[in-house]
Amino acid sequence: MTSIYSFKVESIRGELIDFSAFKGKKILIVNVASECGLTPQYAQLQDLYTEFKDKLTVIGFPANNFGGQEPGTNAEIQTFCSVKFGVGFPMAAKISVTGKDQHPLYQWLTQKSANGLKDSEVSWNFQKYLINEEGQLIRVFEPAVEPCSEELIAAI
């Protein structure tokens, strides 16, 4: 079993996000989409990131896997998130979170043999994966669980 710290991904701005930089903090990974009924969760994700910045980072992963609800380019997605929701948390470049072209990070998140916790399927946009301070997956939250819910905040 590996930790999340072995992963590096491209950011929405073309820079590198190195997960080892987040050692000692919890990480909330969320697959996001701009044209989804759950898109307003961006505001709560930003609130969560702002409130718990000292012990949590939120990383959004734009993906177009569900209903074509993230058709934009990285630049379009970045502008949308900044203008509409004031997103300041890290955003990755657009990836695939399911299927044959599933990103290696999401393979790790969804396969118990890799993450040591459980098998899961990304069921829709805004599914949340919580990583502990040691880089291990500790919880999976379904898309309908709001970022500022008691359940999620208690896990932080």
Nearest by Cα to 30 from 149, 150, 147: 147
Task: Give yes or no for a contact between 48 and 80, defined as CB atoms under 8 angstroms apart.
Answer: no
Of residues 27, 36, 131, 152, which has the active-site annotation?
36
Q: Which residue has the tokens 């993450």?
A: 115
Task: Give yes or no for a contact between 89 and 51, defined as CB atoms under 8 angstroms apart.
Answer: no
One-character DSSP codes across 41-87: HHHHHHHHHHHTTTTEEEEEEEB--STT---S-HHHHHHHHHHHH--
Q: Is 148 a catalytic residue?
A: no
Active site residues: 36
